[in-house]
Amino acid sequence: MISATPDDRPLGIQILGDDFEIIKGALDIISGYNFDLIDLNAACPVDKVVSGGKGAGLLRAPVKLQKLLKEISTHTDLPVTVKIRSGWDETSVNAVEIALRAEDAGVKGLFIHGRTKTQGYSGTVDYNIIQKVKESLKIPVVASGDGLTPNLIRKMFDETGCDGVAVARGALGNPWIFSETAEYLRSGAAPPGPDIYEIAQIMKKHLALNTAFHGEKIGILIFRKLFAWYVRGLSVKQLRSRAFQSCSYDDMLRLIGELQLLQDKCHVPALL
């Protein structure tokens, strides 16, 4: 899971845990690799994670989290960051307190998803709490949540004053989001976006790399989901369901070829 290519720089690694004795073991393993930063996950909302007090569970234990971050920062020479949510639930939005404690513990940057743990991925992102966190800290704040299009990424910058925006779901099947957003932020003009031919070309490359990395069997299983993400918003229901039944590289390649032939028949919706 920590495989990377030489181009992936700067390269961080995220750890999940609430017990420094165990985390120390992870840090010692990490020290044998060439990472640029270590991030502690205090944001994961998955039940089996939070029930043990890890991930977003740490938001309910601000003093413990502060101590943990201090211990991690002292144990490693690498910069340490933390990823948080706005709070546990709407009655306990404590991101500012958590963020100040994290800064005090010596973290060098903070990532914040502007939703509570109980929100999961539902409801809207709380730009206001991210802005308050940004105003309270001296260290860089990277905002996360619904950065799904260049316009929404700009909105996150505008509403919060954050130093950076982390893009997650918006990049699934849409690697163009980064260059398009950079262009949009520079020029203010709506980027043209890829056409079906370009999408299919990148899918072919992705399919080949994915298969070379994971092997054909696992690679194709993974690519079924990737296929669906790439064609999100396109009227190609049949192709999508055939991709979910596809079992071989050649078959998947054929489906991408069919997609490419729809170049003039199928409209790619603008993602602004």
Ligand X SMILES: Cc1cc2nc3c(=O)[nH]c(=O)nc-3n(C[C@H](O)[C@H](O)[C@H](O)COP(=O)(O)O)c2cc1C
The partner residues of 38 in beta bridges, in order of sequence, read 13, 80
Q: Which candidate in 44, 162, 247, 266 is catalytic? A: 44
Active site residue 247: no
CB of 42 to ligand X, least distance (A): 9
- Taking the least distance from each CB to ligand X, the nearer of 156 and 259 is 156
CB of 201 to ligand X, least distance (A): 25
Say which residues have a Cβ less than 8 Å from residue 18's Cβ, sequence separation at least 6.
52, 53, 54, 57, 58, 61, 64, 68
CB of 111 to ligand X, least distance (A): 7
Report the 3 state secondary structure along 125-189. CCHHHHHHHHHHCCCCEEEECCCCCHHHHHHHHHHHCCCEEECCHHHCCCCCHHHHHHHHHHHCC
- Taking the least distance from each CB to ligand X, the nearer of 167 and 252 is 167
Say which residues have a Cβ less than 8 Å from residue 3's Cβ, sequence separation at least 6.
213
List of residues contacting ligand X (CB under 6 A): 14, 41, 43, 83, 113, 144-147, 167-170
Residue type, 100: L
- Taking the least distance from each CB to ligand X, the nearer of 81 and 239 is 81
CB of 118 to ligand X, least distance (A): 15
- Taking the least distance from each CB to ligand X, the nearer of 65 and 259 is 65
What is the CA 92 to chain-centroid distance, rounded? 24
The residues annotated with a catalytic role in the active site are: 44
